[in-house]
Structure 1
């Protein structure tokens, strides 16, 4: 990108970082501070105005210092076993795909993912679970197992989960499915200690307006139903 483009992108990211920081959404704000500062430094390389360069470098140092403070805060709270984040997703809000909500917690340190959701029954709910599995496989390079706890469904749902099980097996990932008649919690638990609880489970998106509407494939463009997300770190 050009220096001007880097500057514009950096300002947008750093503005978002401050907003997330103020909302105590620290894992997100840390990423935005880090990425935004990197873009700001790239923009500086293409500048010639000394006063502007010095001003931007000072801002970059301020943001890097804040990012380091957040990093230490997260690590300290994780060690104490009490790190939490809360997110309110408003009705019709966009920008809350599975990757946006939990992608930052996925990486090579995730060997298994445990998904509890009573509503993996209808076709679109099965597709939501498939999307989550795709995200896990893409981002968790050492992933070995996905565990799904849900309620019993019909033969069509069973066939879909069997097909998915076989497909994941070809990727070296085991999908185990168990059924519960008393399941109420909706959560995603990761082997690296992160737990993501979504009030509506995976089914928090509105249906697409049509097959040719934005958001049909990219869930960051899909309007959401109102729900809450609670994220915490389980030291155990």
Structure 2
């Protein structure tokens, strides 16, 4: 049977992630692949092909529903843990790919803890994250950043973050910046309970080779340093802003 290769590739990737117990990523693949199959099935004139496609759709839909139940159970029991290992020099790890699937209407505040949002490129990484949050979370109202100061860049850092805060207000989002000299943890906490812990924080991308190469703007194409991303869920996320 000639099913569109795009659907086959996406669903294969879903099975691969499913096997590795990276359930939320597998779910995204299954949903994308299913959409292609359903669209193809609607326009398919051949009854035999349509029956075959319907069987495949049911098969993957059932698995997707099973995964949803597994994730829900793990969240309820506090056992959810998904890990992504980013290899040195690998690409394809933009913020949206890594954790965009958790950004939705359930998120009304986000707490970013990262001691290294200080230099220009680090503040730009935080800006990219804010852009993604504003685009993906329609009910977002607060972003809290907990970071540290650096004597060399402190003045610039304050100005950059102030400019960003002013701009976020246009989207009815308040940016609250707090500083700590003892902060070590690096994590992004969503009000919906998802917690994304990136070993290197937001700054795990390598510097581009020059200002006119792929990856300068699209982080999916930027090479990465080796790091590990752990995603967990807590039912007790508390906002700390006033």
TM-score tier (shorter): over 0.9
2: CA distance, partners of 1:208 / 1:101: 20
Deviations 1:185-211 (A, max 9, x none): 000000000000000000011111222
2: CA distance, partners of 1:50 / 1:223: 47
Secondary structure of the residue aligned to 2:44 is coil
2: CA distance, partners of 1:212 / 1:159: 27
Q: Which runs of 5+ in 1 are unaligned?
A: none
Paired residue for 2:201? 201
1:37 aligns with 2:34: yes
Deviations 1:30-88 (A, max 9, x none): 11111201111212233344433322222221111100000001111111122110110
Paired residue for 1:192? 192
1:81 aligns with 2:78: yes
Matched residue count:
232
Paired residue for 1:224? 224
1:28 aligns with 2:22: no
1:90 aligns with 2:87: yes
1:166 Cα deviation (Å)?
1.1
Q: Which runs of 5+ in 2 are unaligned?
A: 237-242
1: CA distance, partners of 2:46 / 2:222: 42
2: CA distance, partners of 1:212 / 1:115: 30
Correspondence for 1:99 among 81, 96, 100: 96
With structure 2 as the length reference, what TM-score do the two structures score? 0.92
What are the within-5 Å matches in structure 2 for residues 102-113 of structure 1?
102-113=99-110
Deviations 1:91-145 (A, max 9, x none): 1111110011111101111110000000011111010000000001111111110
Correspondence for 2:135 among 119, 135, 138: 138
2: CA distance, partners of 1:233 / 1:28: 15
With structure 1 as the length reference, what TM-score do the two structures score? 0.94
2: CA distance, partners of 1:21 / 1:13: 12
Paired residue for 1:51? 48
Quote the RMSD (CA, aligned, Å).
1.4
Paired residue for 2:215? 215
